[in-house]
A and B are shown apart, each in its own frame.
Chain A
């Protein structure tokens, strides 16, 4: 233990392990976890004193307490187990803290959305009506207790379903066939490599740029007056959705064992039937789950729709004419441009309710994707 020699065997494993010279083989003494608890309790005490007695901001106290905890446990374990053990403990608790950093905003956000949105989100009138004819005076009357809260997001819910559905109808065939080309036909040829590269590039297109593209395209075709329509939004979303579908599908097709393709080809089945009847069914659950995730990714998009579809106050079932609304855009408008600037609460209530519906939709899609992947996983048979 005390001689810092590197065993010669470590070299032949892999060059990566040459780096082991970085390890200082100082002795490590056994330590117990119990002192951590004591130090932790001490840190909590420090936090409470700073917060309640000294009067510092709660978060500041927490940070100071945490840093004190790190420092004391490092010093203690360094004394008890050696410098390497001390460092190990510190890193462990840094990693735990990182996790907390991600969870706190998530919980706070969900808490806010649920708390603010719940009162209105499941009211039937909110889900079933639109904002036709609703103005600031209605909101003022409601705030003064002289009338009911009126106006809902029904048109936005319908719009979300239509636009996202349309985007799915456009993206899925293009994305799937592209993935089929990449896996089954292209292989490693130059075109396939080019497409793969550009799909990567496409993944990075900012959503608002996709919206601008759709707007510019439809302005060119229909003229600037009639450019804003549901289809334009669907095209914008497709630009964002196609690369996700290609990536997910490509991955799923790739894990279909080659042996199955060979088995089918050896039976005298043409290649296209092999793909359509053996490869795709085998990958079906993965493909469906990937598509569901792609839908989840675009269903909450606001910016491209804001630009490409505009904003409608009422039900519009025709995606080829006039603006539509979607939950995300509705949320944004209600939140930032309240009907009555003097009384913003009713509009904010609507915004949070729509946001809650949107979050529920997205979470449901994510759960659905997991469910599909798990339940219909290959090998279970029909």
Chain B
């Protein structure tokens, strides 16, 4: 269920502003890839282009190529809606639908697309997704309660359950722990480790320790100066990036000299 992502000479613009410049990389299947870098370096912008969510922002556009198992996301006739069904996304702040119960939240991707589903199949999918997000045991007795009644960490895991319920191939996470307390963060990090056996996981994080803990490969984004486009400075095995980076900028950032 997981696929390889190839990014080729990707440039991202907001109107006339060049946000991210010339990114090329290969993201391996069944691995966790982390992006780190100072604020405003374009890492969140970049991750959004992997499922065309950047198109929600007026004026945003890309040049270049992103392929999932050889199929270009930006090719002619590709529907962004289909792309997003293949590539799921979890956001910075937990955002369960406030009008829906926990169960409906998990099934939202299916329900909102008006797919018919038997009660039994729905129950199964719900349980399977919640188990997949390590949330089943905590909520199995209150599936009909509103999702917004859960704690922040539980809500975030609910959002992950919601994302995997559509059975994507890739899971993008945009700073998924930045709004959570340490214990909830730990639960999510454990979950990410389990998810990588089924999915290709890409995570943006502000927290370097987190990148070191959860990821197999790490990319460091940086920008030369404000107003300049962000760039991928270095992309390598996490061990290498943190212990023996090639570039000076990476080393400076890792060692806390800036950022």
**Interface on A for B, CB 8 Å cutoff?**
187-188, 257, 259-270, 273-274, 277-278, 281-282, 284, 378-382
Contact = CB atoms under 8 A, between A and B. Distances in A.
Contacts of B66: none
Interface string B66-102: 0000000000000001111110110101011111110
A333 to B, nearest CB: 47
Nearest to A381: B146
Given A269-B81, A382-B146, A282 B56 contact: no
B146 A267 contact: no
A267 B162 contact: yes
A166 B163 CA distance: 43
A132 B238 CA distance: 90
A268 B82 contact: yes
A261 B101 CA distance: 17
Contacts, number: 91
B223 interface: no
A327 B162 CA distance: 53
B101 A262 contact: no
Greatest chain A CB density within 10 A among B83, B88, B112 is at: B112
Chief secondary structure at chain A's binding surface: helix
Interface residues of B, number: 36
Contacts of B113: 268-270, 273
B36 to A, nearest CB: 22
Nearest to B144: A382
A257 B109 contact: no
Contact of B58 (A187, A262, A278): A187
Interface of B: 51, 53, 56, 58, 81-86, 88-89, 91, 93, 95-101, 108-109, 111-114, 145-149, 159, 162-163, 166
A277 B98 contact: no
B56 A263 contact: no
Contact of A269 (B96, B112, B145, B149): B112
A144 to B, nearest CB: 64
B170 to A, nearest CB: 12
A278 to B, nearest CB: 6
Contacts of B95: 257, 259-260, 262-263
A259 B97 CA distance: 9
Contacts of A264: 97, 108, 112
Given A267-B166, A270-B81, A259 B112 contact: no
Nearest to B92: A259
Given A264-B112, A267-B163, A268-B113, A381 B98 contact: yes
Given A269-B112, A273-B114, 7 more contacts: A257-B95, A262-B91, A266-B51, A267-B88, A268-B84, A277-B111, A381-B146
26 contacts: A188-B58, A257-B95, A259-B91, A263-B97, A263-B162, A264-B108, A265-B53, A265-B84, A266-B53, A266-B89, A267-B163, A268-B81, A268-B82, A268-B166, A270-B113, A273-B112, A278-B97, A282-B97, A282-B99, A378-B99, A379-B98, A381-B145, A381-B149, A382-B99, A382-B101, A382-B146
A277 B95 CA distance: 15
Contacts of B81: 268-270
B56 A382 contact: no
A282 B148 CA distance: 13
